[in-house]
Structures are given as structure tokens and as C-alpha cells.
Structure 1
Amino acid sequence: MKDIGLFIKGLDVTALIIYSLLASFFALYLLYTKRKRLFHLPVGLLILYFIFSIASILLAPLKIAYANKLLGVVSAVFLAIGLARVIVSFVVDYLVARTKRTPMPQISRDIGLAIAYLIAIGIVLHLKLGVNPTSILTTSAVFTLVIGLALQDTLGNLFSGIILQMEKPYDIGDWVKFGEYIGKVSEINWKSTKIITPENETLCIPNNIIAKNIVANFSKPLPIHLAKVKIGVAYRHPPEEVISTLDKILVDIDGVLKDPRPSVRVENYGDFAIEYAVMFFVQDFEYEGLVKAEFLKRVWYEFSRQGIEIPYPIRMVYQVGKGEEYDGCRDETREYISYIKKVEVFSPLRDEEVRLLAQLARLERYAKGEIVVKEGDEGESMYIIVEGSASVVKGGSFITKLEKGNFFGEMALLTGERRSATVLADSGLLVLKIGKDEFRNILLANPDVARQMSDILAERRAEAAERSPEGGTGELKGVESERQALSVQIFKKIKSFFSIG
């Protein structure tokens, strides 16, 4: 019992009670938030405190004064440091964490711990040994100078980190640019700032280097970021046409903010092209690369469909004179002829008319997921699939799949009817587009073609009606007179649409 009394007498009861209460509360919080690692050091220091306190009591009968005093001071230091650690951790990891959305930078945490440790050790030395802490500082000036010279780079990083924390040009989670390096801030400590680059690499940049360079913060004052893309277009295309096309592309891209509004303007007349500046906002700098890539991809497809040329540095050589004789068909025109001849609607056309139509038609490319035609939209063109496949959707329901050689939109081409369904590209899709203007000259030169096409379209509609679930009761069911009436109706629409007398 005497030994137990000596043990209890040697404890700093007040400090131990405070330590225990704070440590218990903080331990429960860390266990709840699954951050048990932060509590390892305070527990270890408390164990060391008990070990040295017990050692001091066990050595007391030997009456070795300096040993007892040393063990008492060491145990008190462990208790004081542990108490300081718990208090700082409680403030930073509990109180501050509950009020701030972003975690406190490591450098601020380290500085707070260092100050708390120094205060704790100073109090122990003053109470246990009667040492005045200010006297230690004044007598170690030479030692401090030597250490300062030896660690000038390290101290430079430390003080640069402190200055950065005072000015706060960036926080953890911000996208920044330091010189040539761009990345997302993942940690700020006493020596360096760590960023994660778009390539998912971690860079540790010394704070003194950051303090000497220009810092660009892409996340402040607002996280939205302005992206800028330059596009060169051939001089033969009017600026209004190009700007309208680029505006249309921007509207359809996910990730481009509607407010602030995107803008397109002529920026420069280059050697080979008119240069356009396309500017739009994205939600965060992190998404800029993805949205730019999607925009540039859509530009290629849309420009290809519209016949807008993106030039590259070339030298044009014009040769005047007698050229080689040929049959009037390019290789691609011959290929177009083969596709057109397979379309039943065009079977009444003569060979020269098919050739003319093939020369006037043009190829269009669509990316996966792009809409070729939309249900309910006005139209005056039809399409023949050259490569890839497409899905037909009506009223939100899948109807059928179209493959190479299939065609759609013939009623819009010949009568101007609104699109009866939506057609979406399943993959990279290449189609041959035949428009009203390309077909007008053929009908004007050979009006009889319109009547023959009307018969074919009426036949196709009647067959489609017979195949439908309601075909048994439909008004078009296999009745010749009804087919003829429908043919006459379609013929009148064709004449009206193309203004044929």
C-alpha cells in the first residue's frame, strides 16, 4: 500500500485527468470516423509516462536523487507532449474539421504541433527544474545561427510555406499551375506542396520555388473555367455559316455550360485559313480536356457533313491544258451509283440520271450516338447507309436496326413530310445523302419519274400496313383501288413539293 501511495503521489493528477478526458472523447470520435491511426502517438506517450513514473517510484528507495529527478522530468515531458498532441488534434481534427469543407493543410497542423510541444516542454522545465525558457533562447544564439546556415534551404521552404498559408493563394482540392506544372493540390506541408497532374502523377514542388513563381489558380474565385479552342476554316466559307455551325455543335455537347453563354468569333486571317476562337465554360478545370476532345470530335463530323473544309498548309498548282479523257465518273461516283441502283425507289431512273444523282450526292459521317434525323423534324433529304449501322426509334421505342445498303427518309425527300422516326448512329456511321436540290433537276427533266416513284411508294406503304398488327383492319389492306388512290395522293405531293407543273 505504501508503494501504491508513493505511485499516486508522484502523478500529476490534474494533468492526467485533463489528458484522460480529452483523450477519451477524441478516441471515440476517431473510432467513429475510422481514423484510429491519429490516436497511436497519444496512447504511446501515455504508456511511456506510466513506465517512467513507475521506474521513478521503484528507484526511490535507492535514494539516487539525480536519477529520480531525471525520470520525473522525462515522465512529465511525455505527459505534457501527449496532452499538447491531444489538444491540437482535438482542435484541428474535430473542431476545425466540423467548420471547414477542406482539410487543414499539413504545414498549419505541423506548426501548431511544434508550438504546442515547445510550450509544453518549457512549462515542464520551469516547474520541475526551475529553468527560465527565455534564458535558453538567449544563450543559444550562436548555435541557432549555425543551424540556420546549415538548413537555409529547409528553412526557406518552411517560411515560404508559412507565407503561402497566410496569403492562401490555393487550398487543397484546387487546380493550379506552378510554372510549367499543372495539377490538383493534394497536400500542403512545411516543405512542399503536392499536386496530382492530369496524367495521375504526384509532383512534390518545394514551397520556396512556388513563392518565387507566378501561381495560377483555376478554381478561384469560382470553380467554373473558360476553355478556348481555335479552329481554322477555309476562306471560301462565309463566317456567318461557320459561326452558326459551331454554335449548333456547342449546344449539343454535355459539359458545356449554357450560362455563361458560349461564344464564337473571328480572331485572325491566317495564311491558309480564317481562324475562329471558340470559348465556352465548363463546370471545373478538371473536365476541360474531356469537353474539348468531345467538341473537336463533333466539329470534324459536323464540318464533314456540311462540306466545311479545315485546311492545312498546302501549295495549290493549277494546270491549264488538255487533260486525260475519262468516262465522267470518279471512283467514288461509281461506288455511289451502285448504292443508288439498289434503292427500289430510284429504279425508274435512267443510267444517266443515276450518274447525275451520284455526282450531286455527298457523304456524311456521324459519331456513335449522334442523331441523323429526329422524329417530327422537317426534312427534304434521304440517306443510304454506306458503312456502319443505325437504330430507328419511334415514340421512344426501338423499332428496327438499319445496316449497310439500307435507306431511310425517302418520303421527306420526295414530299417534304416530317420525319416519322428518329435515326441514331450505333457506331461510326457513313451515309450517302441525297437532297431535294440534287433531285429537282432530274424531276424537271423527266416528270414521268415522279408518277412511277409514287406507285412504288404507295406499294411500300401498303405492304408496311399489311405487316403491322393493325393490318387486318387497315384501310390500305391489299385493295388495288386504295393503292392507286394513295399513289395519286403521293404524286400530287411530289408535284407540289418540287413545283412541277
Structure 2
Amino acid sequence: MPPEFQLLLAKSVGMAIAIYATVWLAFFIPFRRITSPPRHTVHLFAVSFGIWAAAKIYFPGETWINHLGAVLIFTTALFLWVLLDCFICGAWLVRRQKIQIPTIIRQLGGMIVVLTVGSCILKWGYGLELTGLIATSGIAAVILGFAMQDLLSNMIAGFSIHVTSAYRVGDWLLLGDNGDRAEVTEINWRSTRLIDNDQVSVEIPNGEIIKNRIVNLNYPTTEHAFRLKFEFDYDVPPTLAKQAMLAATTNVQGILQSPPPVAFLNKYDSNSIAYELRVWTRQAKLYNTICTEIQTKLWYEMKRRNIQMPLSSTTMEIRKSNGSANSALAVTMQAENAVSIALDCLTPEETKGLVGTGKTILFGPGEAIVTCGESGSSMFVILDGEVEVIGKSSGTEELILATLGTGNCFGEMSLLTGEPRTATVRSKLDTLVIEIRKNDLSPLIDANLELATRLGDLIERRQRELTAAQDGSHTNKPASSNAPLRRSLAERILVFFGQSST
């Protein structure tokens, strides 16, 4: 290779690199703020332009430069189309006009540009008549048509999906016979891409989708219903089973209260009665969350209502009665200890009487034990677990007022005076409580009216301690008692329990 040629080649390579870098930087700086800049086509255009310009400068008159020019024309046309698509479809229509152009239409436009420019280059640049090529390659076209049968089928199916608007990007679909749910993320000329609730990407050819039933959960509106199936033993009354299912839908994120949930008795099986629970939602992506929350809450509802799940015909149930007795005794002792602390004005005999008639209840995480504003005539003592006392801030946001643990109690004023609940109490963990109702306390007050005074003293003392804690009072001076308040509380307690206050 002559030294002169080597020098020209080195200069041309350097010039090509310099032109490439200049062109790339010229487009890179304004494209930084664009969500999907045309990076690949910018590189192709910059490379082809740099090589063509360097060859034109250092190798003028060479015939092979025409081939570089053809490549430059092709890459320039492709780059201009991508640039137009990026600014018109991606920036202006989507951001300002809020119009979403289907991906398949944009890809089809790119294919038309590529075929048109390629045909023009072959005809006017190389003198090739495409009609002659097509006419003389009929056999090849037939073979190619058979080979591309599936591809063409998917393309036609893709057009059909867009024309009929069967589904769009962002819609949730039911897939297959098993009813898997997935969100449409892209519809291109060959396939539809979806992401399911496990964040797994699924790509299905368009031709396969249109052959099956399409269930779109977002059309005509996002509001739709789905059903959960449950089985209950024949010993469980249908009314009780339906009540438990409906109670499990309260305070579940994503469930609509209008239309309300509905429970159905579906059929009688050999070992159980089958039920269905229909709920409505506008958020298809929360399907798994809604199902698991309902089923979790139903377990606690069944536990509280003494409902057992049906056993299969091949299941043998063996239970140890001694363990159950020991467990019940431990819970009773725990309840007596907790109640004696919460209501320290009671005698040991009165405490045992309350625990004996009280009802132990298990609540799951996130369940509301009492709700602000509702009527009530009972109090709760926490035997195990933890709860949050929730109020309302100036807006609609929840405000956590306190966190209570084992041994704490709440609802005393509702038990003693029948006042509505002043706050919502919600369990944070699995929480076991004992509920002391008006009917449980009434025999004790009937037998000893002085108990109302002791309970009034207890409430007055706790209110005084709470006020001192909120005011930051830490003085050693003993707090003065409020005799009128004690008398007022005692009188209200007696009146509420049907006793004379005189």
C-alpha cells in the first residue's frame, strides 16, 4: 500500500470520526430531555454521513462513493422518520394533545418509509425495475408467502385489534381458561405484551389472541365484579355463612361498597355447601390483594362465630381434649389477671364473675375492633397483641392517637354509660381480647350498687391522669379529686344499668 494512500486513508478515518462525533453531539444535547430519544438511528446517520463526507473530500471521483451515498440516503430517510415519530407522536400528541398513537401504526409507518426509500434507491440509483423482479420471482414469492404465513396472520390480527379496539395499553385482560390476569403494556405488529400480578412479562402472538375469547376488565368501564368460592359444613346455617362472608369484606382495600358485596348459596355438594361471594372493584391490579385479605378476614370471622371449615371425606380429625382444656385454663387465668389490672376497683370474686361471662375474641391484623361513632355497650381488655387508637385529623387522614398492648383496655365509657365510640381501635397484630358487655356487668351492679361509685372513681382517676400526662404535668403535688365528676359518673352508671341514682 503506497504511503500516499495510507496518509489519505488515515486522514479520511480521522475526518469520519470527527464528523461522526460532531453530528452525534449536535443531536445528543437537545435529545437529553426526551423520554425515548432515537439513539440507534442517530448513530447510523452519523456514521454513514461521516464516512461519506470523508470519502468525498479525500477520494473524489471514486465510483464506490455512490454506494456510500445510497447508504447515506437510506439512513437519512430512516433517521428523519424516527425523528418525526419521536417529536410528533411521542412528544406533541401524547404530552400536549393526550392522544396515544398505537405502536403498530408507528411501526407500520417506519416499514413503509424503509420499503419506499429502498425501492427508489434500487430504481434510480441502480436502475433495477422492481416490477420485473417481482414478475420473475413468482415462485420465490409463493415460497416466501408460505414461510411468512404466521407473521402475516399476526400482522393482520394486530390491525384487527386496533380497528376494533378490543383492548388498549393499560387494560387488564383475563388470559386462557384459568383466568390469569395481566396488564397490556404494548401492542406491536406481531404480538401483545402483558405483565401479570407477579411482574412476569408474557408475550402472546396477535393471531393466537384473536382466536380465543377476549375478556377486557377495563371495558366499557374499569368497574367490574368477580366471585370467590367458599365451602361450609352442612351444620352451618346459610344465613350465618353469608353473614361471615359479608363481614370479611369490610375495610378491604379496593372493594366498592356500591354496588355492595353479595353472598350466594351456589349448590349442595356431598360433604359441604358451596357458596359464592361477589365483590366489585375498579382496580384489577389489586385482585390478588383483595382475595387474600378477604380469605384472611374470613378465617377470623369463622373463628369468632365458631364455624368450622368442612372436612373432606378422606380426612380423619383427631383432637387432644387435654391440650384444649389446658389452653382454655391458661386463657382464663390470663383474662383474670388482665381484667384485675384494667378494672382494679373490682374484688377478686367480681373479676372472676366478669371473666366467666365475658367473651374472648381473636382479631387479625388490620381489623377494626370498634369504629368511631358507632353505638356500643361493652369494653375490651387486651389479653395478647397490640392495637392502634385512631382518630381523624383536620382533613380526612387518619391520626394514630395511641398504641395499646397486653393488659390495656378501651371502651369503658361505652360499657358504663352507653356513649358512642369516640375513636376507632384497629388491631396491629393477631390480637386476643375479652369483651365485657353490659349484660356481664349488670348482675354485679344489681348485687352491689356501691360498685357504680367505685367504677366512677376509676374513670375519674384515669381521666385526671390522662389530662396530667397531656399537659406535661410532672409535679409531686397530689392531684385534687373531682367529687362532682365522680358523683355524676356514678349517677350516669346507675341510670344506664336501670338503677335509681338516689
TM-score range, shorter chain: 0.7 to 0.9
Give yes or no for contact 1:365–1:430 (8 Å, CA) kept in 2: yes
Structure 2 match to 1:33: 34
Residues 160/461 of structure 1: CA separation in 2 closer, same or farther (3 Å cut): closer
Q: Is the 1:53–1:71 contact (alpha carbons within 8 Å) kept by the matching residues of 2?
A: no
Q: Which residue of 2 aligns with 1:87?
A: 81
Change (3 A) 1:341 1:460: closer
Alignment pair present for 1:456 and 2:450: no
2:384 and 2:250 map into 1 onto residues whose CA distance is: 27
- 3-state DSSP class of the match of 2:455? helix
Whether 1:215 and 2:214 are equivalent positions in the alignment is: yes
Residue-by-residue CA offset, 1:45-104 (whole Å, 9 max, x unaligned): 36525644764686665xxxxx73x64255135314522441354146524753355765
For residues 311-343 of structure 1, the C-alpha deviation after alignment (integer angstroms, 9 at most, x for no partner) is 2216899xxxxx99xx99953445544544555
The aligned counterpart of 1:15 is none
Deviates more, 1:208-217 or 1:430-439: 208-217
Alpha-carbon distance between aligned partners in 2 of 1:233 and 1:390, rounded to the nearest angstrom: 30
Give the CA RMSD over aligned residues: 4.5
Query: Following TM superposition, by how much is the alpha carbon of 1:230 offset from its aligned partner in structure 2, in angstroms?
Result: 2.6
SS at match of 1:250: coil
Indicate the residue corresponding to 1:174 in structure 2.
171
Partner in structure 1 of residue 19 of structure 2:
none
Task: For residue 372 of structure 1, report the CA deviation from its aligned partner.
Answer: 2.5
In structure 2, stretches of 5+ residues that fail to align are 1-23, 394-398
Percent same amino acid at aligned positions? Answer: 22
SS of residue matched to 2:287: helix
User: Displacement of 1:459 after TM fit?
Assistant: 2.4
Alignment of 1:207-246 (within 5 A): 207-234=206-233, 239-240=238-239, 243=242, 246=245
- Show the counterpart of 1:265: 264
Aligned length: 454
Residue matched to 1:75: 69
State the match for 1:372 in structure 2. Answer: 369
Gaps of at least 5 residues in structure 1 are 1-22, 62-66, 318-322
Mapped contact 1:55–1:71 kept (Cα < 8 A):
yes
1:326-341 matches, cutoff 5 A? 331=329, 332-333=331-332, 335-341=334-340
Q: How does 1:161-310 map to 2 (within 5 A)?
A: 161-179=158-176, 182-234=181-233, 239-240=238-239, 243=242, 246-247=245-246, 249-305=248-304, 307=305, 309-310=307-308
Matching residue of 1:135: 132
Q: TM-score, normalised by structure 2?
A: 0.73
**C-alpha separation in 2, matches of 1:191 and 1:292:** 34
2:233–2:310 CA contact under 8 A, matched in 1: no
Rounded Cα–Cα distance in structure 2 between residues aligned with 1:27 and 1:310: 67
Q: Output the CA distance in 1 between the equivalents of 2:360 and 2:311.
A: 24
> Hey, what's the Cα distance between the residues in 1 that align with 2:433 and 2:416?
18
Question: In 2, are the aligned partners of 1:183 and 1:198 still within 8 Å (CA)?
Answer: yes
Residue pair 1:73, 1:125 contacting (<8 A) in 2 also: no
Give the Cα–Cα distance (whole angstroms) in 2 for the partners of residues 484 and 175 of structure 1: 62
Amino acid at match of 2:261: P
> How far apart, CA to CA, are the structure 2 residues paired with 1:426 and 1:438?
27
Structure 1 residue 477 displacement after superposition: 4.4
Check conservation: 2:453, 2:487, Cα contact below 8 A: no
Q: 1:136 to 1:401 in 2, by over 3 A?
A: closer
Q: Does residue 437 of structure 1 match 2:436?
A: no
Q: Structure 1 residues 152, 385: CA separation in 2 closer, same or farther (over 3 Å shift)? A: same
SS of 1:430's equivalent?
Answer: strand
195-204 vs 83-92, which moves further = 83-92
Three-state SS of the structure 1 residue aligned to 2:249 is helix
| Partner-residue secondary structure (3-state), 1:496 | coil
1:433 CA displacement: 1.2
SS at match of 1:279: strand
Conservation of the 8 A alpha-carbon contact between 1:267 and 1:277: yes
Structure 1 contact 387–404 (Cα < 8 Å) conserved: yes
Mapped to 2, the partners of 1:479 and 1:40 lie a distance apart of 82
**What letter matches 2:289 in structure 1?**
L
Describe the SS at the equivalent of 1:255.
Answer: coil
TM-score for the superposition, normalised by structure 1: 0.73
Equivalent AA in structure 2 for residue 99 of structure 1: L
d(CA) in 2 for partners of 1:483 and 1:258? 43
Tell me, yes or no, if structure 1 residue 382 matches structure 2 residue 392: no
